Amino acid sequence: MAVLFLLFRFADVPFWRPFWRTYLIGTLAVLFLLYLFYALLRLAGGRRFRRGAALATGVLFLVCVYAMVISTFNIRIDTVNLERVNPERTVPPGLRAYRILQISDMHIGSFTSPKQVKRLVQQALNTKPDMVVFTGDMVNFSTSEMLPHLAELAHLHAPDGVYCVLGNHDYGGYVRWADTASRHANLQKMLQCYKSIGWTCLNNASVKIERGGDTLHLVGVENWGREKRFPKKGDIKAALAPSALLETRRSLSAVQDAEPSDMRRKPQVYTVLLSHDPSHFDSAVYRHYPQIDLTLSGHTHGMQLGVRIKGKDYSPARFLYKHYAGLYVMENGQALYVNTGCGFNGLPFRLGLRPSLTLFEL
């Protein structure tokens, strides 16, 4: 514990090489927790329980090795058919079968090799989405973590584009910057990186995609967190304003021409909001903006620890967040989906809640 304290107190940890920052600190933390676990068992059981304490600690050690080495990059792809799970909000006919892939909380500074990012991108492309959305927290500390992986990230594409929003980590708030100008430059550099790889960042802005006579209205807001330590920059009212519309275009994804009967009906709109922190939905979206059909969030990681039972994730994160993993459908039909992330932060550790991508079928 003393070593960890000294590292964070005197070493410039955010700018270490990814391998050492991820695994040296993570290993020290896990070893300390294992020692604490063993000591508590010995204290509770006395001398007669010494062998049992050692055996239990050994088993926990193997579980930690699995969680750190194998589970952290064992990506799962979840598929959600919105028409089936949320019939309260009818998907417009022109948008049915439209596929949106959500990626969240990459924390790319924890990836120790571009090959890991390349594998993630390929798994995303294999889902053949019409659109890809990223719901924040690209980095742990600073934009510099993105730079070694830009070439691989640039390969992520979809017919109707790749869109993203900012998460709390993306603002550089966990680094001791020399001054405010340096911190601002870091954020501007991230926005430039997104532009260079062809991703559109929706900072309190929106786009419209027309398909089959109907419209998908994709709205994105900056981070808004309920807790004081998280930025509150998201502005839904501004994002929904006509002046915040970046573009309206016809979908490039494969779709049959509308039937003559469809041409006579009134065009419909399905609105999807990208907002990193699910507490934003609870505090400012639900009921306040009923026109928003689906909100996509991340942030919680499900605390990188939990269990999946009959398709539902259970995690200690439930004690911190009202909505922490998976799909939630409200009484008025508004839906929130919380993606538990495809990366990790803090400890290189995922147990039960594997890194995930989510494919939505409208």
User: For the chain, which residues make up each domain, given as ranges?
Assistant: 2-70, 75-361
pLDDT of residue 223: 96
> What are phi and psi for residue 281, nearest 5 degrees?
-60, -45
Band of the pLDDT at 5, cuts 50, 70, 90?
low
pLDDT of residue 240: 96
Of residues 40 and 144, more confidently modeled: 144
Band of the pLDDT at 133, cuts 50, 70, 90?
very high
Least trusted range by pLDDT, from 15-29, 76-90, 107-121, 287-301:
15-29
Band of the pLDDT at 19, cuts 50, 70, 90?
low
In this predicted structure, the answer to whether residue 309 has a pLDDT above a threshold of 90 is no
pLDDT of residue 259: 52
Average pLDDT over residues 207-233: 92
Of residues 21 and 59, more confidently modeled: 59
The highest-confidence range among 68-72, 75-79, 229-233, by mean pLDDT, is: 75-79
Band of the pLDDT at 175, cuts 50, 70, 90?
confident
Q: pLDDT, tens digit, for every residue of 21-40?
A: 677 777 777 777 877 877 78
In this predicted structure, the answer to whether residue 7 has a pLDDT above a threshold of 60 is no
Q: What is the CA radius of gyration of the chain?
A: 22
Of 106, 93, 94, 99, give the one whose Cα is nearest residue 79: 99
In this predicted structure, the answer to whether residue 261 has a pLDDT above a threshold of 70 is no
Torsional sign, CA 283, 286, 290, 291: positive
- Proportion of the chain above pLDDT 90, given as a percent: 57
Of residues 321 and 155, more confidently modeled: 155
Using CA atoms, how far apart are residues 47 and 17, in angstroms rounded to an integer?
43
Average pLDDT over residues 170-192: 93
Of residues 6 and 110, more confidently modeled: 110
Band of the pLDDT at 254, cuts 50, 70, 90?
low
Least trusted range by pLDDT, from 25-39, 97-111, 175-189:
25-39
Using CA atoms, how far apart are residues 34 and 117, in angstroms rounded to an integer?
30
Q: Is 75-361 CATH 3.60.21?
A: yes
In this predicted structure, the answer to whether residue 292 has a pLDDT above a threshold of 90 is yes
